[in-house]
Amino acid sequence: MSPSLVVIFGDIIMSLNIATLFAALPGNVAQGIIWGIMALGVYITFRLLDFADLSVDGSFATGGAVTVVLMLAGFNSGAALAIAFVAGVLAGLVTGVLHTCLGIPAILSGILTQIALYSVNLNIMGGKANTAISVDKFNLVISLRYIDKAIITACIFAAIVMALMYWYFGTEQGSAIRATGANPAMSKAQGINIDMMKVIALSISNGLVALSGGLIAQYQGFADINMGRGAIVIGLAAVIIGEVLGNAFFGKRMNFVLKLLFVVIGGILYYVIIGIVLWLKMPANDLKLFQAIVVAIFLAVPHIKNKRASSFGKAAKRGGIKNA
């Protein structure tokens, strides 16, 4: 390394303030939990249903837009979140109908819904790209101004969502959804209406995503037409990070409850990592690049791990053959 680079790197290190990092961590944790709720919705389609749903970016912004507009119209924050969830359910219903009734491939049906929701969200916000609400004028469920309370509130929401998911996917209908994702042909042979299961799963998934969008809108104090851009990447990152960590700690003992819990933990760790990247004073223009790198690293971990295990297995087998 040249002396000039050493000097530059040293100046960057000296300019960093560890107190600034710790001061930002509570905010990162709060956002991570809220986005973890969104990731639970992504988990339903990505892991349980085996459906690549790209409508998430649109339904997340829908949840934020509906929440803010309803609160400005006089609805209380809790009711606005409930209606935002319903709006997300309807968005997922559209994706499901496009796929099951019209035969449009999974990825394209999600993209079509996402594109349509951009105009829908603009209309919801009265043609504005950004609509704000003030913590001083509204009784928000969650706000970054009261960060300790925000973390507790986010944890309560996440716990309720995980409990409901654990209960629901243990019911007959929930089990049918899981069976549909695991083996559609066998599920259909067993008399399960797999098209209906897909529509239901997509509706629930996007409902949770929209609920998360409503929480984020209240947390940050505004809804933006682009607030859902890249949401699917964050959701997948949380799922993958959670799976990698969960398997590292529990391995084959990972049950459904732990999988849901580690999805939320994955969301927290993702935002902590992004917080560290920002603290290191990386260029803001490159933030999306760093996000993609973080996701790529965690996506590659299971593949590399399986590849190494397979290589060791083959080596042991060859050794056994030679010894024989």
Of 227, 249, 277, the last residue of a domain is 227
Q: Which domain holds residue 273?
A: 230-309
Residue 32 lies inside a defined structural domain of this protein: no
pLDDT band at 297 (very low <50, low <70, confident <90, very high): confident
Does residue 5 lie in a domain region? no
> Can you give the pLDDT at residue 10?
53
**CA–CA separation, 58 vs 134, rounded Å?**
24
What is the enclosing helix (H) or strand (E) of 240?
A: helix 231-250
Q: Could you tell me if 239 and 183 lie in one domain? A: no
Answer yes or no: is 210 within a domain.
yes
Identify whether residues 115 and 242 lie together within a single domain: no
In this predicted model, what pLDDT tens digit does every residue of 100-111 receive, in sequence order?
999 999 999 999
Same domain, 179 and 213: yes
Is residue 12 assigned to a domain?
no
Of the listed ranges 93-97, 208-212, 250-254, 288-292, the least confidently predicted one is 288-292
Does a structural domain hold residue 27? no
Residues 205 and 234 in one domain: no
Question: H helices within the chain, ranges in order?
Answer: 3-15, 18-43, 56-72, 77-100, 106-124, 147-168, 172-182, 184-189, 194-220, 231-250, 256-279, 287-323
CA dist., res. 229 & res. 291, Å (int): 13
Question: Which residue did the predictor score with more confidence, 282 or 225?
Answer: 225
**Cα gap 210→318, rounded to integer Å:** 53
- Work out the pLDDT band at 318, boundaries 50, 70, 90: low
The confidence band for 317, taking pLDDT boundaries of 50, 70 and 90, is low
Residues 210, 303 within the same domain? no
Domain termination residue (choose one: 183, 209, 227): 227
- Does the residue 317 lie in any domain? no
Within-domain flag for 222: yes
Calculate mean pLDDT across residues 110-135: 94
Distance CA 41, CA 165 (A): 10
| d(C-alpha 73, C-alpha 79), whole Å | 12
Is there a single domain that holds both residue 196 and residue 87?
A: yes
Whether pLDDT at 321 is above 70: no
Given a contact cutoff of 8 angstroms between Cβ atoms, the answer to whether 236 and 167 are in contact is no
Name the DSSP letter for residue 54. -
Residue 13 has pLDDT above 80, yes or no: no
Shared-domain flag, residues 165 and 184: yes
How many structural domains does the chain have?
A: 2
Answer yes or no: do 152 and 184 share one domain.
yes
Which phi-psi region, left, alpha or beta, contains residue 306 (left: φ > 0; alpha: ψ -120 to 50)?
alpha
